[in-house]
Chain A
């Protein structure tokens, strides 16, 4: 089943397009006049992400393995490719205006977004732990730099160093887990690992040795620590509010959705592609992490006065809801529903969160001065359309019907009840009620408070790029809330690709 070389290239076509665009941006940047605007590079990068998105759709015609079984293209990987390319495209659109108001010049910004995207999309199609690790690092290193992009601001540098130190710390845990998994099964390929864990035998050449399950359990736990950090689930969430507050707002839009979706994709691949047998080992890990993330995230968000910090805590809470879907997969009758709920949630969350941060990046103005709740007072009067758009995103984050957030939560809790996770569902629903306080508070501040004197004169008209970004995210948020069936169907097909794959792997000629 080894793919012909040309097909192998098709299977990493989006990655190739993104890398070439990134390299071109890096090369052209020094040739442009230093004082001029580098928006043309941004437009070029935007076209690049769109091309990568189309390439991922083209990949649906060629599902299969590539590059010595290190890459696997199926509905699951295509879903995340399209999602992540769309996130990057929208973030680039939203960045034009932001970079202008912050007086940041530099095409590397766009190149770094492209390189980060390469890492994220690669994470969703990699089925070899070596490649997953490399992809994880490509996306992380790009986002470390992006977090510190407001170089002269002390907060931005601080956010970058915190992200970098804790991120590398978590990566070391992930790597230690990979090393122990290699020790337990003698392989770093997810499907070889899963067949070893299922048969209980490591076959190397003629001899076969029993698998050390205790080592495998420790390995899964350590990998969960590393990935749990990337998705900002409790108790590995401490970095999130600080990093999100200091990093540039469009970058937060990217790193609160893109790497998170990619890390969830890796988690799904590792936990369900590789280790149905180990599910009893990680079930309680996921259960506790989900409950803690929801509770700590929502309680933390109640206390915030900074909108970016509030959204950071809400992102922790949403990671918790997503993990509920993971926990639901333990019951055999809810496997498909659980995984497809998780995939759907990642998409819906991406749409509404990118939108919310795009609005925040617009209101922040020079030096990100206006990011507190009181700065949003009277926005309903000052710029009614933008305030209405932000309200849509907030209501979707809250989970009101007719928005994507509602169906995302509905499917997750539906899967949880199907697998008899009554307590987790109760905790989740109580948390949804708590969450309404801080989301609605921002809406109340926008519509019912009088604007502070002197701020009315601020020019708040959104630039075309930002308007396009907001229109796209708002349409997707509402579309997912009105007609979720199409996306959910595709997510279910992706889920079914994930599950039986370990049976196919045994017939895989290597």
Chain B
């Protein structure tokens, strides 16, 4: 059987990749994808711990995270559309009207 720590290390690595690409990537869509990656890393942690404690509540939490992620995606893509309509670009470096 695969030990718990392996799952935790994997999810930590996934989460770190998500954070790194959130900071490095310049396209709004890719940034959005990296947030999804972070959420899925969290889901993996939940499932691993739910298995470890023999508690269903961890797995139920994953469903809630998925539902919320879907709702966020719906709103997020609508906002991305609004930005594209006013700006004709999805590069975050050019979305810079609001600055000191």
From 173 to 219 in chain A, residues with beta carbon under 8 angstroms from any chain B beta carbon are 175-176, 178-180, 182-183, 186-188, 202, 204
Nearest neighbor of A129 in chain B, beta-carbon distance:
B61
Q: Which residues of A (144-176) have their CB < 8 Å from a CB of B?
A: 144-145, 148, 151-155, 157-162, 164-165, 168-169, 172, 175-176
Given contacts A144-B79, A242-B98, contact A165 B35 (CB under 8 A): yes
Question: Roughly how many angstroms separate A144 CA and B72 CA in the complex, as a whole number?
Answer: 10
The interface residues of chain B lying within 8 Å CB-to-CB of A282 are none
* A161 to B95 CA separation, bound complex (whole angstroms): 9
Q: How far is the CB of A414 from chain B (nearest CB, A)?
A: 35
Chain A residues closer than 8 Å to B45, beta-carbon distance: 176, 179-180, 183
**Is there a chain A Cβ closer than 8 Å to B71's Cβ?**
yes
Beyond A160-B79, A183-B49, whether A168 also contacts B64 by CB under 8 A is no
Does A246 sit at the interface, judged by CB under 8 A? yes
Interface readout for A341-366 with B: 1 if CB under 8 Å, 0 if not? 00000000000000000000000000
Residues of B within 8 A of A179 (CB): 42, 45-46, 49, 61
Is the pair B72, A161 in contact by a Cβ cutoff of 8 Å?
A: no
- Residue in chain A with minimal CB distance to B90: A161
- B52 partner residues in chain A, CB cutoff 8 A: 183
Q: Are A242 and B99 in contact (CB under 8 A)?
A: yes
Cβ-defined partner of A168 (8 Å) among B35, B49, B61, B96? B35
User: Is the CB of B9 closer than 8 A to any CB of chain A?
Assistant: no
A317 to B38, CA, bound (A): 30
CB 8 Å contact bits of B8-34 with A (1 = contact, 0 = none) = 100000010010001000001001100
User: Which residues in A have their C-beta under 8 angstroms from that of B80?
Assistant: 161
Shortest beta-carbon distance from A228 to chain B in Å: 16
Number of A-B contacts (CB under 8 A): 129
Segment at the B interface, from A130-138, A439-447, A482-490: A130-138
In the bound assembly, the distance between CA atoms of A141 and B97 in angstroms comes to 23
B59-89 with Cβ < 8 A to chain A: 60-61, 64-65, 68, 71-72, 75-76, 78-80, 82-83, 85-87
CB pair B86–A152 under 8 Å, yes or no, is yes
Evaluate whether A141 and B31 lie within 8 angstroms (CB atoms) in the complex, with A134-B68, A160-B82 already known: no
A158→B97 contact, CB < 8 A: yes
B99 touches A176 (CB 8 A): no
Contact of A137 among B22, B28, B71 (CB under 8 A): B71
Majority secondary structure, A binding face: helix
Question: What chain A residues lie within 8 Å of B1 (beta carbons)?
Answer: none
CA distance A141 to B60 in the complex (A): 21
- Interface residue from B8, B64, B87, B95 paired with A130 (Cβ < 8 Å): B64
The chain A residue sitting closest to B72, CB to CB, is: A168
Please tell me if the beta carbons of B15 and A145 are within 8 angstroms of each other in the complex.
no
- B64 and A144: CB pair below 8 A? no
Interface size on A, residues (CB 8 A): 43
- Give 1 or 0 for each of A288-312: 1 = CB within 8 Å of chain B CB: 0000000000000001100001000
Any A CB within 8 A of the CB of B2: no
A172:B95 contact, CB within 8 angstroms: no
Contact with B along A227-245 (1 / 0, CB 8 A): 0000000000000011001
Known contacts A168-B35, A169-B35, A179-B49; is-contact A157 B87 (Cβ 8 Å):
yes
Which chain A residues border B60 with CB–CB below 8 Å? 130
- Which of B28, B49, B54, B65 is A182 in contact with, Cβ under 8 Å? B49
Q: For residue A133, which residues in chain B have a CB less than 8 angstroms away from its CB?
A: 64-65, 68
Closest A residue to B69 using CB positions: A168
A202 to B78, CA, bound (A): 44
Chain A nearest CB: distance from B61 CB in Å?
A: 6
Complexed CA–CA distance, A28 and B72 (Å): 25
Residue contact B42 to A157, C-beta cutoff 8 Å: no
Seen from chain A, the residues whose Cβ lies within 8 Å of a Cβ on chain B are: 130, 133-134, 137, 141, 144-145, 148, 151-155, 157-162, 164-165, 168-169, 172, 175-176, 178-180, 182-183, 186-188, 202, 204, 241-242, 245-246, 303-304, 309
Interface residues of B (CB under 8 A from A): 8, 15, 18, 22, 28, 31-32, 35, 38-39, 41-42, 45-46, 48-50, 52-55, 57-58, 60-61, 64-65, 68, 71-72, 75-76, 78-80, 82-83, 85-87, 95-100
